[in-house]
Amino acid sequence: MVQKTPLILITNDDGMFAPGLKALVHAVKDLGRIVVVSPDSPQSGQGHAITLTDPIRINPVDPFHGIEAYECSGTPVDCVKMAKHVILKEDTIDLCVSGINHGANHSINILYSGTMSAAMEAALEGIHSIGFSYLDYSYEADFTVAKKVAKHLSEFLLKKPANPIHPILLNVNIPISADNTLKGIKVCRQANARWVEEFQQGEDPRGGKYYWLHGQLENRDAGSGTDIQALQEGYVSVVPSQYDLTDYKAFDKIMGLADVQ
């Protein structure tokens, strides 16, 4: 029996020419057939946004010397939708990897992250998926360790049988390593953290007011086993994630809600 060559979809939220995307392509390019679909401009913080009021355009490009790649005018989620339903509609995608994002996507950041939303969209389509983030914001970041992690976890998921009903979705954050060594990987839960936000007010040359969002992440989770704790200790954090937002613990708290007279 001839074994099928795995088909790996690669996407991100930073655009086709982001260093993290190049690092991810290099990390997994030997694991199967690679197809890259990336936004044609940076889309950080877009979350699970989709394009509804404008046409979506896709254009083939060749930044990776022969690897099939397309720029998409939409959001990261649009990129996955276009890959699944247009570019690769006759194929079966075995794995989607998104990133490598510059900066953390741990804890509450998963809700805002275009990187993780792209991976989550693939999971919605029944595809095993991973979102990778590296805690170095520098454009000149060294992705040596991040590439090792990306290849290892991609190989791991490619060995898992496809499960269209409950695919595996991983949120992976990688700490900075000064000597390019990997301390280890920890499977974690998502920390209970929140952004403490402020809007800095300014004034444009015509006297109109504008506001610039900034803030600090506040970790409200003193428990153990969180992604933030793992990263602080120098470990790669891996959080198994899902798109089911049901709060099952709240069922008992709202008993009687449906008792309408």
Tens of pLDDT, residue by residue over 19-62, are 999 999 999 999 999 999 999 988 888 888 899 999 999 999 99
Q: Is residue 214 part of a domain?
A: no
Give the CATH number, domain containing residue 110.
Answer: 3.40.1210.10
Among 105-109, 116-120, 159-163, name the one with the lowest average pLDDT. Answer: 105-109
List, in sequence order, every beta strand (DSSP E) within 28-160: 33-39, 58-61, 68-72, 95-102, 129-134
pTM of structure:
0.92
**pLDDT at residue 198, as a whole number:** 86
Q: Is residue 218 part of a domain?
A: no
Q: Is residue 213 part of a domain?
A: no
Whose CA is closest to 46, among 121, 97, 107?
121
151-176 pLDDT, tens digit per residue, is 999 999 999 999 999 999 999 999 99
Q: How many structural domains does the chain have?
A: 1
Q: Which two tokens stand for residue 75?
A: 């959001």
Mean pLDDT of the chain: 92
Q: Is residue 250 part of a domain?
A: no
**pLDDT at residue 96, as a whole number:** 98
Q: Is residue 1 part of a domain?
A: no
95 vs 43: which has the higher pLDDT: 95
Strands 95-102 and 68-72: unpaired
List, in sequence order, every beta strand (DSSP E) within 50-192: 58-61, 68-72, 95-102, 129-134, 169-174, 185-187
Max distance between CA atoms of the chain, in angstroms, equals: 71
- AA identity, residue 102: H
Residue 76 has pLDDT above 70, yes or no: yes
Q: Are 94 and 86 in contact (CB under 8 A)?
A: no
**pLDDT at residue 68, as a whole number:** 97
Report residue 260 CA to chain centroid gap: 42
Residue 208 has pLDDT above 80, yes or no: yes
What residue numbers bound the domain in which 83 lies?
7-190+223-245
